[in-house]
Amino acid sequence: MKIVLEHLTKRFPSLDRKTGGFVTAVNDFSFEIPDGKLVGLLGPSGCGKSTMLNMICGLETPTEGKIYFGDDDVTKLPPENRGVGMVFQSYALYPHLTVRQNIMFPLENLKGDAKLSKEVMREKALEAAKLVQIEALMDRKPSEMSGGQQQRVAIARALVKKPRVLLLDEPLSNLDARLRLQTREEIRRIQRETAITTVFVTHDQEEAMSISDLIVVMNRGELQQIGKPQDVYDDPVNLFVAKFLGTPAINVFAGRLSGGKLWIGNEAVLEAPGSEDRDVWVGIRPEGFVLYENGPFRTKLSRIEVMGRDTSIVSTHDMCENTVVRSIISSGSQIDPDQEYVHFLLKPEKVCLFAKDTEERIYTELRNGHDKK
């Protein structure tokens, strides 16, 4: 089921009684989620992504705008008539009911022609439980299960009615690190098997990048960018998106375009033929550095962290907005930890320029002036 959001806006009355007015949680949001995709809604806390999810679900009605599932306008429909399944951050399992009763709960609500017999309900519940591999735990209470198992029950309960759209609110945030990796693969697998259009909310960019077909980056209630994870990472439209995606984070420097060259401090680090002169933010991904003895970019070495596969060079630079410059090089590289400065060559495709004032992306050709000898 395709989901289309048109100019979606949600305003809440301000909690501050004295000033009154409204807080805009989601502002003029439009995008389309293709059928059968797993979509990550990504943004920092308080950016309106949960409000967004609640509107798709039907728990909140939008102040303005329309929501379509396929060709149906569902903007005014209550959740139960939309055909959505929702997994809450707290899982919201009914603690006094067993796993089986929890999964059967949505089915028991069906009325009239849709009403099911007890046997059919049990069968369907078992089917859903098998999908998330908890069929052996059907008679347990939620309190007798681990967080990961509870999560699966919540997913099974959301899937048992065969929804058109599955929504997950911060599905992994309550799990420990190891379980998180496992569970996110699990969500990917379940989504593939059922082919239900799935939207999940997260503030963890790694989580979103790793399993989504598409990611939607939000900030302060506004859509920043939508695209395949790698595309958004490689080609951020503004400084916020560039900073938000990637661990370690992108290194940001105050720089200048002048005379067809990109300058950071007093060093012309890259050629930028035909660019107009202006001040810019320069974002360099950690993997965009190449160790090079006569490289044009020089930083003051702080320490070297070797982490198996990679070596991370931590250094400082006066023009850097981050506290340290992090660069990742393959661990084969030789570097003397006692030297005072390190010299780098930059990979032009890992460097993004942003306007100093609007922080929007500046698209201009960048080239390496120094040839490796």
Partner 1 sequence: MIKSSAKAWLYLLPAVLFLTAFMVYPLFDVMVYSVEEGYNFASQTYRGTGLYNYSYVLHDQYFLQAVKNTFILVIITVPLSTGIALLISLGLNSVTKFKELFQTIFFLPYVTNTLAVGLVFMILFKKTPYSEGFVNLIITALGGTSVDFIEGPYWAKMFVLCFYTVWVVLPFKILILTSALASVDDDLYKAAKVDGTGRLRIFTRITLPMISSMIFYLVITGFIGAFKAYSDVVAIFGTNLNAAGMNTIVGYVYDMLYGDSGGYPSFASAAALILFAIVLTITCINLLVSRKKVYYA
Tokens of 348: 């032009």
By the rule CB under 8 A, 92 interacts with partner 1: yes
Give the list of residues 6+ apart from residue 122 with CB closer than 8 angstroms, or none. Answer: 100, 104
What mask, x for binding partner 1 by CB under 8 A, covers residues 53 to 72? ----xxx-------------
Nearest CB to partner 1, comparing residues 80 and 365: 80
Per CB under 8 A, 12 contacts partner 1: no
Out of 14, 94, 146, 303, the residue judged to bind partner 1 by CB under 8 A: 94
Q: Which two tokens stand for residue 163?
A: 């929804």
Site residues for partner 1, window 247-306 (CB under 8 A)?
none
Determine the Cα–Cα distance for residues 168 and 201; give it in Å rounded to an integer.
6
For the window 119-158, what string marks contact with partner 1 as x by the rule CB under 8 A?
--------------------------------------x-
Token representation of residue 169: 């609110």
Cis bond before residue 62 (omega within 30° of 0): no
Q: How far is the CB of 8 from partner 1 (least distance, A)?
A: 19
- Could you give the string, one character per residue 151-190, with x where binding to partner 1 holds by CB under 8 A and - elsewhere? ------x---x-----------------------------
Indicate which single residue of 12, 13, 22, 96 sits in contact with partner 1 (rule: CB under 8 A). 96
295 in Cβ contact with 289 (< 8 Å): no
Q: Which amino acid is at 22?
A: F
Map residues 346-365 to x or -, x wherever contact with partner 1 holds by CB under 8 A. Answer: --------------------
Closest CB to partner 1 among 78 and 259? 78
Interface segment toward partner 1; rule CB under 8 A; list 106-114, 201-209, 310-318, 346-354: 106-114
CA-to-CA distance for 225 and 160, rounded, in angstroms?
A: 33
85 binds partner 1 (CB under 8 A): yes
Token pair 């301000």 is at which residue? 14
Check: CB of residue 365 under 8 Å from CB of residue 274.
yes
CA distances from 37 to 8, 151, 152, 198, 213 (A): 21, 21, 20, 6, 6
The angle, 0 to 180 degrees and rounded to 10, between the axes of the packed helices 147-159 and 177-194 is 20
Q: Where does this chain bind partner 1 (CB under 8 A)?
A: 57-59, 78-81, 84-86, 88-90, 92, 94-96, 105-106, 109-110, 157, 161
